[in-house]
A and B are shown apart, each in its own frame.
Chain A
Amino acid sequence: MLHDDFLDQISGAIGRVVTSEESPATAHEFLFWTAETEAAQNLDIGHIVAAESEDATAVAVLDDPRRYSDLQSFLDDFYAYDGDPSLEALSERAEILVFRARVLATKHRDDRKKSKRPVRTGPVFFATNAAIEFALGTEDFSGHRIPMLLHENGNERNGSPQRTPLYVDEEYLLGPEAGHLNITGMSGLSTKTSHALFTIASTFQTVKDKKVAALMFNVKGADLLFLDKPVEAPTGDPELAERYEKAKQRGLPPEDREMYDSLGIEVRPFDNLRIFAPLRYGMESGERILHAEGISARKLNTLRSARGEDSCVYPVIWELGDVLPYAGYVFEPSDMDDKFRGFIEELRDRGIRTTADFYLLLDEIEDYFEAAREEGKNVSSWNGHNHMTIAKVRNRFKVLPNKCGGLLAHGRVEHGDLPRADGPFEDNEMRVVDISQLTGVPQDLIVTSVISRIWELAETGNLGVDKLIIFVDELNKYAPSSNSRTSSLKDTLVDISARGRHLNLTLFGAQQFRSKVDDEVIGNAATSLYGRIGDEELTNASYRSFSGTTREELLQLEKGQLLLRHAHYAVPVFGRFPRPPVLMGKQGTDIFGEQRGDAASSVLAVMRNLTAKPPAIAAIRTEIEGVPEEQVYEALDAVQAAHRTGHGAADPYKNFRWNLKRPARTGSGRRDASKILSGLDRMRD
């Protein structure tokens, strides 16, 4: 044996290489028939084996199994059985199973030499972990080894398959050597998002010497809103454990835990989660200045709004000036003629920042026409803009707040020290922009704007971290293939794909239809993953490099199983990954949603976030006994608002008790922190 440590000799020879004039072994593939041993019975597509040439050991992935018999014609069999399929023949016709093995790498006996010589006729063994790691180029990695999938080979020990982590090279995933990740798979299996989360967690835990952060967009339900919550109930909190149980969230199955162990990754949620969401439509106060710091999570259009669970939730609020550059997204194409566009440019030139300013300008224009009419002049335009165009603009802008779905504030927005969705990142920050409750226009607006601004941050070196991962799902919508329409978001995504790795930006893209995504975005991804893919999509040229068998496999991949192609891999490899180490989907809202408990539970949840020594639930119950629930929440919101603005009391529970005893100020009986701050601004003006 040339490399004893590459061949699983405990399982023994599992087959024998065959070569013939018609099917010779080549530098890149060989064929072998399988033995009838118990170990060989496990051989299957995707397993990795090793065989030898004169001076080298080739490690190869199995593909294209075919079973042969010496039967020449189906009719012969039919006649032999007299057309009776139930007839039990005394002998089984001899059959052999032949696998095609696609060579991943070849190791020469002399480490200084490379070999591409085809393997010789001889025994085939299961490849060991060492062989698989060698074959996947792990020794040549220039960056950290980031576990991405787990390969399960056919050789078993004590009933468990040999498991080998499939690593990718950090410098080829996050740059600068290459970059970006692309995931293709059918919608609805949650494989794409789950794997993106798993890979981000894996990256955060593996890359210790660089600051890494991630940005994701939550487009469905509460999928990404509880990423800071563990997948199973933490010990020592029976009440929380009961809620997990009630939500049927029973944690990871043992096999997933084993996978985490094998991958060397801890099962732990994202500690530093920040969620950004726009206001719910109608929640905007209409004040001239809106203080974002004072906006309660309950006013935001997100499912992460329960008291005590909202300390990581921040608003996304735009002024009109933020919307104007994206007028093309907001208004109907039929409205966006040159005259309309010209007036919008007028607004931008004049520095109109807010809706309030816009209406002031319209009033001025109205006054201008009024004055002209009073003077008997026949004036039909203002500043070169026809009064009909201006009327159209007024008309169209009237519905703008509705179209923007709570994103647009009437007045100026004061963010203070509050984190921004498009601001710099912290180390290991998982930033989620929640657009799940929005319709198409504001969704597109937010995605486009946030990514564009982060690109600007990257270009100016102000990301705040060394590497930022941006996960964008539905790339076929945001960066469609060249023949389709172009957009500023597509341009930005293409830019990120082409140059992002040099600016520390990495795009984790996902889509259902890889063939419908821009070639440059796809082509620049050094790492690609493929989940289950529909047959109509699979017929596209994007998949022609795969063998027929691999394509067939992609049609029926199980959940949690992916095909990985990486810059260091000569041949794509199948692997599995465990469920993400966080709460996803409905369970998040079931366990941590608003309806989960009484007022005392909300108080306790808030206090847990604000102080290391929260009061006992019994003490809280005694304290709020007899106090109307609305008043309890009002007092609690006041405490939270104070902390958010940096003016929180040293003892938040004491502050809460004090607030509880104060009478309500507003007519509705509730104090609105943003209104208080707006009032202060008015006094300053």
Chain B
Amino acid sequence: MRAGSTSNDFVEKISQALEGAERRGIHVTAGAGSCDLEAQQFGMLPHEEEQTPVGRPHHLESPVGPRDLGSHDVISRLCYFLDGVQSSREIGRLGMSPVIVSTVAAAIVNRCERRFSRMPLESPPVVVQAVILPRSTGDAGVQAFWELLLAAGFSELARDEVPSSPHLILDSAEYMPDADPSDYVGMRESARVRVRALRERLEGGILREWEGDDRVLEDSDAWIAVDGQLRDVRESNRRAIGLIKSVARPEFVGKDVGMLMDLEPGMRTTSFVPDWQLRRERNEWRTSWYLRMWPPQRGADALGSLMRVEAARDTEPEQVDEISRWILAERAPLAKPDPRWPAMIYPIRYVEKILKPLVQGSERAYARLERQLASNGRN
């Protein structure tokens, strides 16, 4: 898919809807220019990957503590790597309701003989773009604009549906029965959450495709590393691991936290199921453990170079050791210059590098849209 042409189509469709809205007396007020929601939200809230732990995890090994992985030669089975990226901006307002546009992209790369190549998949699309409006707040202007967008060619996305159309329209207030239409800040935050959910759904759809791909089925030794938590993964898929790069708040409590902070480079903790997962359906339980890739870096805290790894439920300790060794073998090449490099592996950085241009390459198209809004004279 050519990102540039898709972006142009996307903006063209919004432009059409805006023209229709103008004719019907619905005024979309231009925003103050480009506004990157991800950048604005960063640092205000706990990292998106991390759930807030509330209780003691369920330990799967005893005694709880560090585990040395040895220094055996490693034959890594990590052959596929999945990651997704997202970018959102507020292009204007309909009254107090923010009009958010977003681009998400996800892909899998295959590593073969030390070189990477993107894994082509029939569906879902690599790049999905969406307009996010708080439709469920009941605002008539928002509802009218929603319909104009549908008429311009946007598609709605059903609950749990994997995106199949590249241009979507999403309701940021869909799961908020008491949403306040005047809560501009809340609407923006819920839009951001919706975008994240869209990305995760896209990643999940891609992971499902991967599971059923002939190449993967033929090579039963090939594993996939997913950036972030393992969601939307079938119980039968025991060849996927999730790599959670940041540990904002450890899952451990009490003295176990001290053990975690003192964890030596190249060592892992005993495995566990996080407390917040225990409160969910059993099929959402994962075997987790922490792994320290590098010594704590200067200027970073004691949790800075820790990675939480997720694997299928009931993964045996021996398998945990082996997976850990695969990950440690990824220390070269270094994932620098990404600031998260101490807890990141190079292949994931590679996927991110090839995806970033897809979500950031639409500046001219958005600028045109912003000019159109500004020319309405309602700024």
Binding site for B on A (CB under 8 A): 70-73, 76-77, 79-82, 87-94
B377 on the A face (CB < 8 A): no
Rounded to whole Å, the gap between the CB of A123 and the closest CB of chain B is 13
- Min distance, Cβ B70 to any Cβ of chain A, angstroms: 16
Residues of A within 8 A of B346 (CB): 91, 93
A91–B333 touching, CB < 8 Å? yes
Is B333 a contact of A93 with CB atoms below 8 Å?
Answer: yes
List the A side residues contacting B111 at CB < 8 Å. Answer: 90-91
Residue of B nearest to A73 (CB): B336
**Cβ of B350: which chain A residues have Cβ within 8 Å of it?**
91, 94
Residues in chain B near residue A89, CB distance under 8 A: 114, 332-333
B67-108 Cβ-contact flags toward A at 8 Å (1 or 0): 000000000101000000000000000000000000000000
CA distance A25 to B255 in the complex (A): 61
B280 at the interface (CB under 8 A from A): no
Chain A residues with Cβ under 8 A from B347's Cβ? Answer: 91
- Whole-angstrom distance from the CB of B119 to the nearest CB of chain A? 15
Contact A72 B332 (CB under 8 A): no
For this complex, 11 residue pairs linking A to B, each with C-beta atoms less than 8 Å apart, are A70-B353, A71-B334, A71-B336, A79-B334, A80-B331, A82-B332, A90-B78, A90-B111, A90-B114, A90-B329, A94-B353
Q: Residue of B at shortest CB range from A69?
A: B333
Q: Decide yes or no whether B337 CB sits under 8 A from chain A.
A: yes
Q: In the bound complex, do residue A87 and residue B332 qualify as a contact, i.e. CB atoms below 8 Å apart?
A: yes
A81, B334: Cα distance in complex, Å: 9
User: SS class of chain A's interface: helix, strand, loop or mixed?
Assistant: loop
New A-B pairs, 6, CB < 8 Å, besides A76-B336, A91-B347: A71-B334, A71-B336, A79-B334, A87-B332, A90-B329, A91-B116
Nearest opposing residue in chain A for B74, CB measure: A90
Distance, CA A499 to CA B235, complexed state (A): 90
Closest to A79 in B: B334
In the complex, what residues of B have CB within 8 A of residue A79's CB? 334
**Residues from chain A with Cβ under 8 Å of B353 in the complex:** 70, 94
Residue among B78, B111, B329, B332 with max Cβ neighbours from chain A (10 Å): B332
Chain B interface residue bracket vs A: 10 to 19
Neighbouring A residues of B116 by C-beta, 8 Å: 91-92, 94
Q: Which residues of B contact A92 (CB under 8 A)?
A: 114-116, 333
Question: Which 8 residue pairs spanning A and B have beta carbons closest together?
Answer: A80-B332, A80-B334, A89-B332, A93-B333, A92-B114, A72-B337, A76-B334, A81-B332
Q: Which residues of B contact A93 (CB under 8 A)?
A: 333, 346
Residues in B whose Cβ lies below 8 Å from that of A80: 331-334
B211: interface (CB < 8 Å):
no
Task: Identify which of residues 281-336 in chain B touch chain A, using a CB-to-CB cut-off of 8 Å.
Answer: 329-334, 336
Closest to B294 in A: A79
| A625 CA to B110 CA, complexed, in Å | 87
User: In the docked arrangement, what's the CA distance between A500 and B347, Å?
Assistant: 67
The interface of chain B, by Cβ under 8 A from chain A, is 76, 78, 111, 114-116, 329-334, 336-337, 346-347, 350, 353
> A70 CA to B338 CA in the complex, in Å?
10
B332 to chain A: which residues have CB within 8 Å? 77, 80-82, 87, 89-90
A78 to chain B, nearest CB (A): 10
Q: How far is the CA of A80 from the CA of B353 in the complex (A)?
A: 20
Q: A88 contacts which chain B residues (CB < 8 A)?
A: 114
Asked if B337 and A70 make an inter-chain contact with CB atoms under 8 angstroms apart, the answer reads: yes
**Contact residues in B for A76 (Cβ distance below 8 Å):** 334, 336
With a CB–CB cut-off of 8 A, which chain B residues contact A72?
336-337
- Do B337 and A77 touch across chains, with their CB atoms under 8 A apart? no
Query: Closest CB-CB distance, B293 to chain A, in whole Å?
Result: 11
A70: B residues at CB distance < 8 A: 336-337, 353
Q: With A and B bound together, what is the CA distance between A70 and B336 in angstroms?
A: 8
Closest-by-CB residue of A relative to B326 is A90
Query: Which residues of chain A have C-beta atoms less than 8 A from B337's C-beta?
Result: 70, 72
Q: Which A residues are CB-close (under 8 A) to B331?
A: 80
A89–B337 Cα distance when bound, in Å, is 18
Cβ–Cβ < 8 Å partners of B78 in chain A: 90
Measured in the bound complex, the distance between the Cα atoms of B115 and A70 in whole Å is 15
Residue of A whose beta carbon sits closest to that of B114: A92
Point out the residues of chain B lying under 8 angstroms from A73, CB to CB: 336
Q: Is A90 a contact partner of B334 (Cβ separation < 8 A)?
A: no
Residues from chain A with a CB closer than 8 A to the CB of B334 are 71, 76-77, 79-80
Residue of A80, A81, A82 with most chain B CB atoms under a 10 A cut-off: A80
- Which residue of the partner chain A has the closest CB to B329? A90
For A77, what are the chain B residues with a Cβ–Cβ distance below 8 Å? Answer: 332-334
Taking a contact as CB atoms under 8 Å apart, the answer to whether A90 and B336 are in contact is no
CB closest residue in chain B, given A88: B114
Closest to B331 in A: A80
A680–B309 alpha-carbon span in the complex (Å): 114
Question: Which residue on chain B has the smallest CB distance to residue A87?
Answer: B332
CA of A321 to CA of B346, assembled, Å? 86
CA distance A91 to B347 in the complex (A): 7
User: Closest residue of chain A to B76, judged by CB?
Assistant: A90
**What is the CA–CA distance of A80 and B347 in the complex, to the nearest angstrom?**
14
Docked complex Cα distance between A89 and B331 (Å): 8
Instruction: Determine which residue in A80, A87, A90 has the highest number of CB atoms from chain B within 10 A of its CB, and name it.
Output: A90
Assembled-state Cα–Cα distance A89/B350 (Å): 15
- The CA-CA distance from A80 to B328 in the complex, in Å, is 11
Kindly provide the distance from the CB of A36 to the nearest chain B CB, expressed in whole angstroms: 9
Q: CA–CA, A349 to B329, complex, Å?
A: 96
CB distance from B192 to the nearest CB of A (A): 29
Cα distance A80–B331 in the bound complex, in angstroms: 6
Q: How far is the CA of A176 from the CA of B350 in the complex (A)?
A: 60
Residues of A within 8 A of B115 (CB): 92
A3 to B346, CA, bound (A): 42
Contacts of A91 in B (CB 8 A): 111, 114, 116, 330, 333, 346-347, 350
Looking at the assembled complex, report how far the CB atom of A493 sits from the nearest CB atom of chain B, in whole angstroms. 58
Instruction: Output the least CB separation between B232 and chain A (Å).
Output: 26
> A70–B111 Cα gap in the complex (Å)?
18
Give A57 to B150 CA distance when docked, in angstroms: 43
Closest A residue to B333 by CB, please name it.
Answer: A93
Bound-complex Cα distance A70 to B332 (A)? 13
In the complex formed, the residue of B with least CB distance to A92 is B114
Q: How far is the CA of A77 from the CA of B115 in the complex (A)?
A: 17
| A94 (CB) vs chain B CBs: closest residue | B350
CA distance A504 to B55 in the complex (A): 100
CA distance A234 to B319 in the complex (A): 78
Please name the residue on chain A nearest to B79 by beta carbon.
Answer: A90
- Chain A residues with CB below 8 A from B329, complex form: 90
Residues of B within 8 A of A90 (CB): 76, 78, 111, 114, 329-330, 332
Once the chains are docked, how many angstroms separate the CA of A72 from the CA of B347?
17
Q: How far is the CA of A91 from the CA of B346 in the complex (A)?
A: 8
- Complex Cα–Cα for A68 and B76 (A): 27
CA gap between A79 and B114 in the complex, in Å: 19
Q: Which residue of A lies closest to B341 (CB)?
A: A76
Nearest chain B residue, comparing its CB with the CB of A72: B337
Chain B nearest CB from A223 CB (Å) reads 52
Q: Point out which of A71, A76, A77 has the most chain B C-beta atoms below 10 A from its C-beta.
A: A76
Q: How far is A82 from B333 in the complex, measured between Cα atoms in Å?
A: 11
Shortest distance between the CB of B51 and any CB in chain A (Å): 30
How many whole Å from B173's CB to the nearest CB in chain A? 41
| Measured CA separation A76–B336 after assembly (Å) | 8
Closest Cβ of chain B to A680, distance in Å, is 89
Complex: A70 Cα to B354 Cα, angstroms: 13
Cα distance A64–B281 when bound, in Å? 60
How far, in angstroms, from A77 to B353 measured CA to CA in the complex?
A: 19
Q: Which residues of A contact B114 (CB under 8 A)?
A: 88-92
Nearest CB in chain A: distance from B120 CB, A? 16
Contacts of A94 in B (CB 8 A): 116, 350, 353
| A398: min CB distance to chain B, Å | 82
Cα A82 to Cα B265 in complex, Å, equals: 13
The CA-CA distance from A519 to B334 in the complex, in Å, is 55
State the CA gap A80–B330 with chains docked (Å).
Answer: 9
Bound: A19/B115 CA distance, A: 26
**Bound form: Cα–Cα A76–B330 in Å:** 14
The CA of A432 and the CA of B334, in the complex, are separated in Å by: 67
**How close is B352's CB to chain A, nearest CB, in angstroms?**
11
CA distance A215 to B119 in the complex (A): 67
